Structure 1
């Protein structure tokens, strides 16, 4: 009788007996990881340079505006104006951050792991989008808080002055949220189309910057209606238009904001439709993306 050819050894593997946290915990972990990725946490020192450089610039601008205000006693930059003036930095921030969130996963082929139970396909892009929106809102809202604290500690009107500053801050934070929602939805949609980060970054910058000349052309045509609707052609001027209508010309821009006439509600509706369309296309993209 022949001896057995092999031996089974017990090397101590055990079944998992802990709590199974489910879909909510997976979504939360993916969202938190996304926020950390945007700011370079858990990555190399090189990956932290650009996001924190941008954070440093916007914070420095906010601190400078606060210092000047404390010296001359006049507001040199409102909270909403700050979001407007920093929008060009937000474009490049999105161009770097969005590919890091989704393009790397496409290129490395890890999506089958994410789409294993209990994470549905829709949760992955939504968690990434929420992380991007949060990061952009912190990027614009954090410096506004610095401006608020500086104004609150230097006000001559006591608690009433602090309250008035708070009433100015809240619309500014909401306006920053609008910038974050529009820019994040567009940037993440473009980045989700390719696994090459350089192509994704170039596409994002192109969409934001190449639409600006269209606005310029439409705004000089011999038609008042076309001129007032011209700012719908670019995401940046679209958000400016919503801010001009919702917050008032003096609050949004020193130059009075874009001349949108009575089309403020149209701009607000267009912003909502744009974000909804981008989110819908983003979800459709991940319903069809290959997982093998």
Structure 2
């Protein structure tokens, strides 16, 4: 004789509150990712490196502002600031990108994310936006400090401040280009491994090992090869775009007539990284 099943009511209640949907999930992932980038809400160990990098950049900005205030001469422009800080940016993204995506792979939380209304595109867009924001803040805040130093010491009054704003905004736009490209490349590399050390090493390798290629191409006795040398490295690619758009740059590249090629490759590289990221997480979501 089989026993009949019994359902016991132990007092649990159904959720009857508002269901916020995918947009709220994206916003939560974005905020969490941005906080994680700077170690907020985590251990003191997680805060050391990002805030050390930020502190060094801020110190450089303060020195630039002080020299401007004392001598009236700008030793570093807003657009060239990112070029000079390129190595610090590389190491920053090498630490932050694995924190944003590799930890989810290692902890196995992605199936939990994708069991909700969250889609692969939502996850990618939230993580990418958080990474872009972190890199832009890393550059934009010191640039703003440089602006304050120049604005409060200008001898031309409102006209001088307005001219500084005209220089700052392109500098912020240039920093955004750095953020868009480095965020895409670093997140794509980190998305293939759950081991943060491997992800960090891969990001640094891709960023730094391409630099000697630029040197080799630039040393060839061919003008075209010299002008296109910067296309081989993300750092020099961004510097080339800045030099093409502004006419000046911190890497002293001789672009010749190939400036638009740098712009086209930059757009294509950013788009390719996003599409590959989307394809990667669609595959993960289907497992």
Tell whether the structures are fold-level matches, with TM greater than 0.5: yes
Contact 2:65 2:149 in 1 (8 A): yes
2:259 counterpart residue number: 264
Contact 2:57 2:142 in 1 (8 A): yes
Contact 2:120 2:285 in 1 (8 A): no
For residues 61-81 of structure 1, what are the alpha-carbon distances to aligned partners after superposition, in whole Å with 9 as ceiling and x for unaligned?
Answer: 000000011111111111011
Contact 1:111 1:291 in 2 (8 A): no
Alpha-carbon distance in 1 for matches of 2:233, 2:7:
69
Alpha-carbon distance in 2 for matches of 1:5, 1:186:
55
What TM-score do you get using the length of structure 2 for normalisation?
0.96
- Structure 1's consecutive aligned runs of 4 or more residues displaced over 6 angstroms after TM superposition are 4-7
**Please, what is the CA RMSD of the aligned residues?**
1.7
Unpaired stretches in structure 1, ≥5 consecutive residues: none
1:8 counterpart residue number: 8
Asked if 1:136 is matched to 2:131, the reply is: no
Tell me how many residue pairs correspond in the alignment: 285
Q: Check 1:222–1:14 CA distance in 2 against 1; reply closer, same or farther (3 A cut).
A: same
What TM-score do you get using the length of structure 1 for normalisation?
0.94
2:98 counterpart residue number: 99
Alpha-carbon distance in 1 for matches of 2:122, 2:107:
19
1:194 counterpart residue number: 193
For residues 72-119 of structure 1, what are the alpha-carbon distances to aligned partners after superposition, in whole Å with 9 as ceiling and x for unaligned?
Answer: 111111101111111110000000000000001001111011112211
SS of the residue 1:175 aligns to: helix
Alignment of 1:12-51 (within 5 A): 12-51=11-50
Q: Check 1:204–1:157 CA distance in 2 against 1; reply closer, same or farther (3 A cut).
A: same
Q: Check 1:7–1:34 CA distance in 2 against 1; reply closer, same or farther (3 A cut).
A: closer
Asked if 1:284 is matched to 2:279, the reply is: yes
Alpha-carbon distance in 2 for matches of 1:198, 1:38:
16
1:83 counterpart residue number: 82
Alpha-carbon distance in 2 for matches of 1:70, 1:223:
44
Asked if 1:53 is matched to 2:52, the reply is: yes
Contact 2:103 2:194 in 1 (8 A): yes
Contact 1:98 1:187 in 2 (8 A): yes
